[in-house]
Amino acid sequence: MSISFLLVLSAAVLGAIIGSFLNALSFRFNTGRRILALSGKDGRSRCMSCGHTLEALDLVPIFSFIFLRGRCRWCGSRISWQYPLVEAVAALLSVLVFLSVPGPISYGFWLLVWMTLLFIVIYDLKHTIIPWSCSIFLAALAIIFLLASQVGHPMSIFGIWGLLAGPALAAPLFLLSLVSGGRWMGWGDSALELSLGWLLGFTAGLSALLLAFWSGALIGLGILFYQRLPWHKKVSVTMNMRSEMPFAPFLILGAALALFCHVDFFSQIYLLF
Ligand SMILES: [Zn+2]
Which tens digits make up the pLDDT trace of 184-237? 888 899 999 999 999 999 999 999 999 999 999 999 888 888 878 776 665 545
Q: Whose CA is closest to 245, among 125, 82, 119?
A: 125
Answer yes or no: are the C-beta atoms of 191 and 139 closer than 8 Å. yes
Task: Please tell me the predicted confidence (pLDDT) of residue 234.
Answer: 54
Q: How far is the CA of 105 from the centre of ligand 1 (A)?
A: 40
Determine the Cα angle at 195 with ends 273 and 247, to 5°: 105
Mean pLDDT of 24-48: 71
Domain ranges (residues) in the chain:
1-105, 131-273
Give the N- to C-terminal CA distance of the chain in Å, as an integer.
Answer: 49
Q: How far is the CA of 15 from the centre of ligand 1 (A)?
A: 26
- Single-letter amino acid code for the residue at 56: A
Q: How far is the CA of 48 from the centre of ligand 1 (A)?
A: 7
Identify the three-state secondary structure at position 181: coil
Q: How confident is the model at residue 128 (pLDDT cuts 50, 70, 90)?
A: confident
Answer yes or no: are the C-beta atoms of 97 and 27 closer than 8 Å. no
Answer yes or no: are the C-beta atoms of 61 and 16 closer than 8 Å. yes
Q: Is 260 left (phi over 0), alpha (psi -120 to 50) or beta?
A: alpha
Determine the Cα angle at 42 with ends 39 and 43, to 5°: 35
Q: How far is the CA of 118 from the centre of ligand 1 (A)?
A: 27
Answer yes or no: are the C-beta atoms of 17 and 61 closer than 8 Å. yes
Q: How far is the CA of 35 from the centre of ligand 1 (A)?
A: 21
Which tens digits make up the pLDDT trace of 61-106? 999 999 999 999 989 999 999 999 999 999 999 999 999 999 999 9
Which tens digits make up the pLDDT trace of 153-163? 666 666 788 89
Q: Is 262 left (phi over 0), alpha (psi -120 to 50) or beta?
A: left
CA distance 257 to 217: 17
